[in-house]
Structures are given as structure tokens and as C-alpha cells.
Amino acid sequence: MTSHRTAQLGRETSESSIELSLDLDGSGASDISTTVPFFDHLLTAFSRHSLIDLTVRASGDTHIDVHHTVEDSAILLGRAITAALGDRSGISRYGDALVPLDEALVQAVVDVSGRPYIVHSGEPAGFEFHLIGGHFTGSLVRHVFEAIALNADLTVHVTVLAGRDPHHIAEAEFKALARAVRMAISVDPRVSGVPSTKGTLQL
């Protein structure tokens, strides 16, 4: 077993102020307060199903739009994941999940590759304009996934295979990503060193 993989980071701009800590080897415990209720719900689900212990304290210019607070929190989450992973030795590297939520069905595939890339498809027409809970625009799901992938140096594919209710679709997307991340970052006792023929998973 590798040493405990944790990170604690902060980020402050004119648009948001965020403190975040995580433990990749946790139990899925979370304490989330971003002042964006539906985003709190999604991050709580991500923590629970990835088994990453996650604490987030965020505030920002939500009187303008929740966009800055959500995206900046996701940026910091990605940076914390890569900081906690270290040199990425001993991990499984790849993860995939197929997660239903009632009528919604989402597939997520993750490679802890060191090469940030996102492929995201299948959300129904108009989803990006829907206000979930009256405040969280559907388009923010993609922004969050992009920010995590780019800042954690992950290759991420998320495909919505079915879905009608925007709440169900967004939540299934986060749960699928969580399960795929959980598998990819898990420590595999059979892996010696970094699982790459080039000897590194870092840029």
C-alpha cells in the first residue's frame, strides 16, 4: 500500500474564494458548502461514489452567476487530485463505469494518463440551457468535467446513453465519473512502479 494520498489547497480570485481538502484513500465522507445547492449535491455524490473524502468551502460572485464558483471549485478539485496522486505509481490507471439513475444511463471511462483530454457527448438537446434547481445551468456539467480533466491530467470520456430528466442526467454523469475515478486511482498490489511503458504518467 502506498502512503496516504491527501491534498489541501486554496484558490482566491476576484470572482471566488475556495478551500478544498481531499483524501483519495477515504471512505466517501464529505463536507461540502459551495453556496450553490445543486453543485453541493453533485459533489457529495462524487465523493460518496469515488470513496474520496472531500471537504469544500467556496464562495463567490453568485449574485452575477454561479458559473465562476462552480468552475473554480472544479479547477481546484482537479489540482488536488493530481497533487494527492503524486508520481502515480502503483495505481490501476484505467477505470470505467456504467451508471443508471432511473431513466438516465451514463458511461464514464478514465485514464490517469498525464495527458488531459475530455470527450463528452450524448446530453439531450436543450440540456445545456436547463436551470436545475433554478440556479445550476446544465452546461456547467461539461465545464466541471473539463476543469477536472485539465487540472488532474486525466483523459476522460463521458457518454450519456439515455435520459430525460436533467437532474437525473447530471447526477448520473457525476456518479459514473466518480466510479470510474475510484477504479482508476485505486492501488493495485500487482503494479510495480508507474503503469506506463514510458515510465511516467506526468507531463
Domain of 50 in residue numbering reads as 6-185
Mean pLDDT for the stretch of residues 30-58: 98
User: Given pLDDT bands bounded at 50, 70 and 90, which one contains residue 150?
Assistant: very high
User: Given pLDDT bands bounded at 50, 70 and 90, which one contains residue 1?
Assistant: very low
Residue 50 lies in a domain: yes
Residue whose C-alpha cell is 480570485:
13
Measured CA to CA, the distance from residue 203 to residue 191 in angstroms comes to: 21
- 21: domain CATH number? 3.30.230.40
- In the chain, how many domains are there? 1
Residue 201 lies in a domain: no
Residue 179 lies in a domain: yes
What local confidence, expressed as pLDDT, does residue 194 receive?
60
Residue 172, pLDDT > 70, answer yes
Mean pLDDT for the stretch of residues 3-29: 95
Q: Tell me if 4 sits within 8 A of 85, measured CB to CB.
A: no
Residue 85 lies in a domain: yes
What local confidence, expressed as pLDDT, does residue 76 receive?
98
What local confidence, expressed as pLDDT, does residue 189 receive?
83
User: What is the percent of the chain where pLDDT is above 70?
Assistant: 93
What local confidence, expressed as pLDDT, does residue 188 receive?
85
Contacts of 198 (CB under 8 A, 6+ apart): none
Residue 198, pLDDT > 80, answer no
pLDDT of 87-131, one tens digit each? 898 899 999 999 999 999 999 999 998 999 999 999 999 999 999
